Structures are given as C-alpha cells and as structure tokens.
Structure 1
Amino acid sequence: MLKILIPTLMLIPATWLITPKWLWSSALAHSLMIAMISFTWLKNTSETGWAALNPYMATDPLSTPLLVLTCWLLPLMIIASQHHMATEPINRQRTYIMLLTSLQFFLILAFSATELIMFYLMFEATLLPTLMIITRWGNQAERLNAGMYFLFYTLASSLPLLVALLLLQNTTGTLSLLTLQYSNPLNLSTYADKLWWAGCLIAFLVKMPLYGAHLWLPKAHVEAPVAGSMILAAVLLKLGGYGMMRMMLVLEPLSKELSYPFIVFALWGVVMTGLICLRQTDLKSLIAYSSVSHMGLVVGGILVQTPWGFAGALILMIAHGLTSSALFCLANTNYERIHSRNILLARGLQMVLPLMATWWFIASLANLALPPLPNLMGELMILTSLINWSPWTLALTGAGVLITASYSLYMFLMTQRGPLPTHLIALDPSHSREHLLMALHLLPLLLLIFKPHLIWGWVS
C-alpha cells in the first residue's frame, strides 16, 4: 500500500520544486509510474479476500478495481489539462497539479480504509480539492453557484451518515470492516432504526446521485474544467456506490422493505434522465445526465442485494468510469476548437477530424453498451437481478436501455455527421496527445473484455 501512497504524496513537493519546462512531462511520467505499480493490486493472492493488509488499510476484490481506476486516471487528467493550462501562470499550474494529486491521495485512502470513520473522513476530504478545481478553473461565472450546490448537497447529506456511524460504534463496539461482518445482527424494529437506516444510505445516494438529489451534478460537470469533469464522473460518483456496498452488509433486516422507494426512484431516474438527455443542446450537460442515468442502474443493482446485482454494479461502475471520462475528454477537444459546448454549432466534424470521429464512435457505442464491452456485461447482470426481484422492473429498465441507445447515437450524429457549418473556418488539427489520451481510456475498456473477472468484485 505504501509503495503507492508515498510516491503519490511525494508528487506534491516534486511539482513545486521542478523547473517549469519539465513540469507537465515529469508529473505525467511520475503519475504513470504510480498507475503501473497499482496494477500489482489486481493480483490478489489472499484466501480471505483481504490483501495488502494492515490495521488501517487493506484491499479486497471490491476496492481493488476502484483503486486501480483512481491511479489510472491521474496521468490521463494531466494529459487532458496540459493544453488549456499552458497559458496560466506557472504557480497556478503547479497548484492545479497539486490539487489533482491530493485528490488521488484522498481517494486511495477512502477506497482502502478498513475503518468506517476513516472512510467517512476521506469521503469528505475529496470535497475540498474538487471544490477548488471547479470554482477556480471553471469556465463561467456560474461556477461559484455550481460549487455551492456541490458542497452543500454533499455536506447536508453526509452529516446524518456521521451520526449513524457513531450510533453503530456504540451498538457494536467496532467500526472496522474486518470485524463488523462477524458482529451480532442488529435488532432493527423501531422508527428510530428506520431513520438510522436512511441516514446510513442517503449520503451515498446523493453522491451517486439518485434521481431527485441529482441537481448538483450537471451544474458541477458543466462548470468544471476537463480534469474536474473526468475525476467527478469516473471516480467521485463511485465513492457513493462503494460506500453503499460496504454499508449494505450491516443494514440487513430492514433493507428488504425500506429499499423499495429508492429502487423505484433509481429506475424512474434512468428513464427520466435519459429523456432529459434527448433534448439537451449542451454537450457536457448531456454526458452529465447520462451519468445520472447509468448510476440509477447501479443503485438498483446494489439495493436488490444479490451477488449478481453487486457484481453487475461494480462492473458497470468501472466501465462507466472509463467511458464517461473519455466522453468528457472528447467534449473538451471539441470545445478547444470551436469554443462552444453547443451541439448545434459543431456539426460535420468527421469531415475535418476523421480519426477523432472514430474515437467518438467507439466512446458512444461504449456508452450505449455495445455487446462485448463490460458496459453491457454490467447492465445485463443488473437487469437480470432486477427482473428476478420483480418482473415489473423490465418496463423501466427496458425503456431506459432504449433511450440510452437513442441519445448516444443522437450525440454522435449531431456532432460528427452532416455538413460542416460555414462559421467553422480555421480548425486546429487533432494532436497526438489527444489520440494517446483517448487510447488510454478506451484500450483498458476493450482489454477488460478478455479478462472481466478482474472487476467482478466479491463474486470472483
């Protein structure tokens, strides 16, 4: 564990001490090395399921894929931000890289924490760097409003979680994930217990976000710079799913009845946000709403609490992390050329940037869950477990899948096909940096087809 944490921590002084000329290339090389070392976590040799164990931090099949995804994303964010940060003063560039690194540090501590209070603290600590990235490097004056939404939605929902965890500590005498599973089952029967159950989950449901508490997400995504959108879509939303999976084990007897309304909300959200996507003109907003739709399926898969639901949720979280991050990078390459996020102003780009259109095509197909990709595997496992729970869910999930396919194709056709608008005169060619960035997003996704059990979680 330390062989990843210490290099991540040392990247912060390194960014401040290195000469400006080598800042971005050395930060990229350093972070890529950390990402490569993190692959060793995927070789889990422990028989109990927990590996790399010490009293405070450990990895198991559930947290390992998310940890590797976190480490993999830092070099990609550095590649993506390099161009639009080039005009900034050097100290701001250093601060930006430092914030991204600190975000990775907190996320590693969150995903590998064995104590629930440590997980809670790191869950909250990720707020600060993200907030600074959105409010300082966002595109428009609206960014302050978006930052406030982001901060207060997350804070207001996670305070009940803190109270719930302290009550759990009083009841069971431990908050360690290693021993909680062996503690006596809780006798949950009163109204207060139902409130406790809700307190445990609401923080994670807002972070996911569940439809109804999702308003902070499109705002934050639209205003954030490209690296902010990438880390938000790829990893920060997954904190919610991870926390839910960890807490579901403790909430046992009540979940059977109390999860009904949340599953209904989640599946209703899949359809509603899909329909919202169909009438978006803002490219980043469309991708942000599609994230809410996919996370709705993940919430459903987790709350049904079957092994298939859990495995499907984890697979979909990892696949969605890579796909949505790739889509935000593509939206950013468009924005850097035409200086607008409006879909209507960016038609026929396939004519000028044919290779970029290929990346758009692959990413759009991954977003609509094309057969051999892990996106489809995750969705199918979740759909199966939901239909097994209640055949009626087929109506909502089926509609959701159809709408997802519609808006993904709509996004591709609107931006890439058709005649080139007359106002687009001098477009920059695509750079190798951007093609490398897209390859590093989509190749892992394609390679996971050949070895999916790396991201199966507890089922493996």
Structure 2
Amino acid sequence: MLKILIPTLALVPVTWMVPKKWLWPTVLLHSLLIATASLSWFKYITETGWTTTNNYLATDTLSTPLLVLSCWLLPLMILASQNHVSHEPLARQRLYISVLTSLQIFLILAFGATEAMMFYVMFEATLIPTLILITRWGNQAERLNAGTYFLFYTLAGSLPLLVALSLLYSSTGSLSFFIIQYLGPLQLSTLLDKLWWAGCMLAFLVKMPLYGMHLWLPKAHVEAPVAGSMILAAVLLKLGGYGMIRMLVILDPLTKELSYPFIILALWGIIMTGSICLRQTDLKSLIAYSSVSHMGLVVGGILIQTPWGFTGALILMIAHGLTSSALFCLANTNYERTHSRTMILARGLQTILPLMATWWFIMALANLALPPLPNLMGELMIISSLFNWSWSTIVLTGLGILITAGYSLYMFLMTQRGKVPSHLLAIEPTHSREHLLIALHLLPLLLLILKPELISGWAA
C-alpha cells in the first residue's frame, strides 16, 4: 500500500518544483508509473480475505479493483485536462494538478481503510477537492449553484452515518472491518434500530446516487471540468457502492424488510432516468443521467445480498467507471471544438473526424452492454439474481436495457451522423493525445474480458 501512497504524496512537491516546460510530461509520466505499480495489487487477488500491510490500510478482493481504477484514472485526467488548463497561469496549472493528486490520495485511503471511521473521514474528504474542481474550473456561471447542490446533498446524507457509526462503536467496541464481519447478527428490532439502519445506508445511497436523491449529480457533471466529470463518474459514485457492501455485512437481519422501498426506487429510477436520456439535448447531461440509471442496477444488486448480486455489482461498477469516464472525455473533445454541449448544434462529426467517430461508436456500444464486455457480465449477473429474488423485476430491468440501448444509439447518431452544419467547417483536427486517452480507457475493458476473475472474486 505504501509503495503507491508515498509516490502519490511525492507527486505534490514534484508538481510545484518542476520547471514550466516539463510540468505536464513529468506529472503524466510519474502518475502513469504509479498506475502501473498499482497493478501489483492484483498479485494477491486469488486469496480470499485481506492482504494486510498494517493495521490501518489493507486490500481485499473488493477494494483492490476500485483502488487500481482510482490510480489508473489520475494519468487519464491529466491527459484530458492538458489542453484547457495549459492556457492558464503556471501557478493555477500546478494547483489544478495538486487538487487531482489530493483526490487520489483520499481515494486510496478511503478504499484501503480498515476502520469504518477512517473510511468515513476519507469519504467526506474527497468532497473538498471535487468541490474545488467544480467551483473553480467549471465552465459556466452555474458552477457555484452545482457546487452548493453537491456539498449539501452529500453532507446532509452523510451526517446520519457519523451518528450511526458512533452508536455502533458504543455497542460493539470496535469499528474495524476485520472484526465487524465476525460479530454475528446484531439483535435489531425496535424503531430506533430501523432509523439506525437508514442512517447507515443514506450516505451511500445519496452518493450512488439512488433515484430521488440524484438531483445533485447532473448539475455537478454538467458544470464540472472534464477531470471532475471523469473522477465523479468513474470513482466517486463507486464509493457509495463500496460503503454499502461493507456496511451491509453488519446490518443483516433488518435489510431483508427495509431494503424493499430502496430496491423499488432503484429499479424505477432505471426506467425514469433512461426516459430522461431519450429526451436530452445536453450531451454531458445525457451521460450523467445514464450513470444514475446504471447505478440503480448496482443498488438493486447490492441490496438483495446474494453472491451473484454482489459480484455483478462490483463488475458493473468497474466497467461503468471506465465506460462513462471515456464518454465524458469524448464529450469534452466535442466541446473543445464546438464550444457547445447541445447535441443538435454539432452533428455529422463522423465526416470530419472519422477516427473519433469510431471511438464514439465503440464507447456507445460499451454503454449499452455489448457482449462480451464486462458491462454485460455485470448487468446479466445482477438481472439474473434480481429475477431469482422476484420474477416481476424482469419487467423493469428488461425495459431498462431496451431504453439504455435506445439512448446510447441516439447519442451516437445525434453527434456523429447527419449533415455537417456550416459553422463547423473549419474544425481543429484530433490529436494523438485524445486517441491515446480513449485507448487507455478501452484497453482495460477489453483485457478484463480475458480475465474477469480480477474484478469478480469478492463474493465467490
């Protein structure tokens, strides 16, 4: 763990000391080396249980894929941001990279934490760099409004979790994930116990986000710069799923009854947010709502608490992280050329940028879960475990899949096909940097087809 954490911490002084000419290449190379080194965590993935470095930080088969995804994303965010931040004063460029690095540090500490309270503190700490990214480097004037939504939704949702963890500590004497899983079921029966259950879950359901508590997400995504959108979609939403899986181990007897309304909301959310996507004009907003739809499936998979549900949820979280991050990068390449997120103003890009259209097509297919990509593995596992739990869920999940296919193809056709508008004739060509960026998103997705046990071992 420290062989990744210490180089990541060292990236902050490197950012401030390196000469201007070498700032972006040095930081990119440094972060790529960290990302490559993080793959060594997969060495112990076949072992069940924890691979411990010390009492405070450890990895297991649930946290390892999420940790590697967090490390993999930092060089990609630096690659994606280079064009629109390099025109700013040097100090602001350095600050921007430092904010991205601090976000990675907090994420490593959150996913590696062995104590529930340390996980809570790091879960909250990721809020600060994300808020700075949205409110300082966002594109439009509404970014302050989006930052306020993001801050208050997350804080209001996670304060009950703090109280719930304090109560758990006073009754069990420990918050260590090593010990909690062996405590045996708690005797929970009163109304206060049910409120305690809701307090434990609420923070994670807001972070996921569950349909009904999702209003902060499209606002935050639309206003954030490209790196903010990438990290939000790829990793920060997964903090919610990770926390839910960790906490459900100890909430066992109550979850069977109390999870019904949340499962219904999650499945209904798949239909509703998918329908919103079909009517969407704003490209980034469409990708943001599609994230809510996919996360609804993950919430359903986690809350029914079957091995297949958990495994499917973990696979879908990783696959969705790579896919939606790539879609936000593609949306950003469009935005940098047309200076508009409205899809109808930037049509027919296939004739001008044919290779970029190929990337769009592949990522749209990944978003609608094309076989044999991990997206399909995760969705099939969750849908079959939901069907096994209650056959009526097939109506909602089946409709959800149809709508997902519909809006993914709609997004591709609206941006790439059709007659080129006259205002787009003098457009900047694509750069190798952008093709490398999408290739580095697609490569892990394709490699996971060959070795899916790397991201599916937790519930086995």
AA aligned to 1:246 is R
AA aligned to 2:266 is A
CA–CA separation in structure 1 for the residues paired with 2:11 and 2:133: 18
Q: Quick one: percent identity of the two aligned structures? A: 77
- The within-5 A match list for 1:293-304 is 293-304=293-304
AA aligned to 2:223 is E
2:267 pairs with 1:271: no
Q: Which residue of 2 aligns with 1:126?
A: 126
Q: Which residue of 2 aligns with 1:254?
A: 254
Q: Which residue of 1 aligns with 2:212?
A: 212
CA–CA separation in structure 1 for the residues paired with 2:339 and 2:142: 17
Structure 1: runs of 5+ lacking an equivalent: none
Q: Which residue of 2 aligns with 1:366?
A: 366
Q: Which residue of 1 aligns with 2:7?
A: 7
- Displacement of 1:184 after TM fit? 3.6
Q: Which residue of 2 aligns with 1:397?
A: 397
CA–CA separation in structure 1 for the residues paired with 2:229 and 2:262: 26
Q: Retained in 2: the 8 A contact 1:338–1:424?
A: yes
Q: Retained in 1: the 8 A contact 2:45–2:457?
A: no
Q: Retained in 2: the 8 A contact 1:41–1:64?
A: yes
AA aligned to 2:238 is K
- Displacement of 1:181 after TM fit? 1.0
AA aligned to 1:342 is T
AA aligned to 1:437 is L
CA–CA separation in structure 2 for the residues paired with 1:131 and 1:181: 34
Q: Which residue of 2 aligns with 1:203?
A: 203
- Displacement of 1:333 after TM fit? 0.2
CA–CA separation in structure 1 for the residues paired with 2:80 and 2:361: 19
Q: Secondary structure at the match of 2:287?
A: helix
Q: Retained in 2: the 8 A contact 1:34–1:71?
A: yes
Q: Secondary structure at the match of 1:114?
A: coil
CA–CA separation in structure 2 for the residues paired with 1:425 and 1:404: 32
CA–CA separation in structure 2 for the residues paired with 1:239 and 1:184: 25
TM-score (norm 1): 0.99
Aligned Cα root-mean-square deviation (Å): 0.8
Deviates more, 1:423-432 or 1:91-100: 423-432
- Displacement of 1:422 after TM fit? 1.4
CA–CA separation in structure 1 for the residues paired with 2:173 and 2:336: 54
Q: Retained in 1: the 8 A contact 2:297–2:379?
A: yes
2:444 pairs with 1:448: no
CA–CA separation in structure 2 for the residues paired with 1:354 and 1:337: 15
Deviations 1:293-324 (Å, cap 9, x if unpaired)?
00000000000100000000000000000000
AA aligned to 2:375 is N
Q: Which residue of 2 aligns with 1:355?
A: 355
CA–CA separation in structure 2 for the residues paired with 1:253 and 1:49: 23
CA–CA separation in structure 1 for the residues paired with 2:445 and 2:248: 28
AA aligned to 1:401 is I
Deviates more, 1:201-210 or 1:47-56: 47-56
- Displacement of 1:45 after TM fit? 6.1
Q: Retained in 1: the 8 A contact 2:301–2:382?
A: yes
- The within-5 A match list for 1:64-103 is 64-103=64-103
2:407 pairs with 1:407: yes
Q: Secondary structure at the match of 2:242?
A: helix
CA–CA separation in structure 2 for the residues paired with 1:357 and 1:2: 41
CA–CA separation in structure 1 for the residues paired with 2:459 and 2:44: 14
AA aligned to 1:411 is M
TM-score (norm 2): 0.99
Deviations 1:342-371 (Å, cap 9, x if unpaired)?
000111100000000000000000000001
Q: Residues 47 and 341 of structure 1: is their aligned pair in 2 closer, same or farther, counting only changes over 3 Å?
A: closer
AA aligned to 1:440 is L
Q: Retained in 2: the 8 A contact 1:314–1:457?
A: no
- Displacement of 1:453 after TM fit? 0.5
Q: Which residue of 1 aligns with 2:37?
A: 37
Q: Secondary structure at the match of 1:122?
A: helix
Q: Which residue of 2 aligns with 1:185?
A: 185
AA aligned to 1:456 is S
AA aligned to 2:419 is P
AA aligned to 1:345 is L
Runs of 4+ with deviation above 3 angstroms: 45-48
Structure 2: runs of 5+ lacking an equivalent: none
- Displacement of 1:405 after TM fit? 0.2
Q: Residues 390 and 185 of structure 1: is their aligned pair in 2 closer, same or farther, counting only changes over 3 Å?
A: same
Q: Retained in 2: the 8 A contact 1:368–1:408?
A: yes
- Displacement of 1:46 after TM fit? 7.3
CA–CA separation in structure 1 for the residues paired with 2:220 and 2:419: 32
- Displacement of 1:457 after TM fit? 3.5
AA aligned to 1:61 is T
CA–CA separation in structure 1 for the residues paired with 2:193 and 2:74: 40
Deviations 1:405-434 (Å, cap 9, x if unpaired)?
000000000100111111212100000000
AA aligned to 2:27 is A
Q: Which residue of 2 aligns with 1:340?
A: 340
Q: Retained in 2: the 8 A contact 1:16–1:94?
A: yes
CA–CA separation in structure 2 for the residues paired with 1:375 and 1:104: 24
Q: Secondary structure at the match of 2:449?
A: coil
- The within-5 A match list for 1:109-188 is 109-188=109-188
- Displacement of 1:387 after TM fit? 0.4
- Displacement of 1:183 after TM fit? 1.3
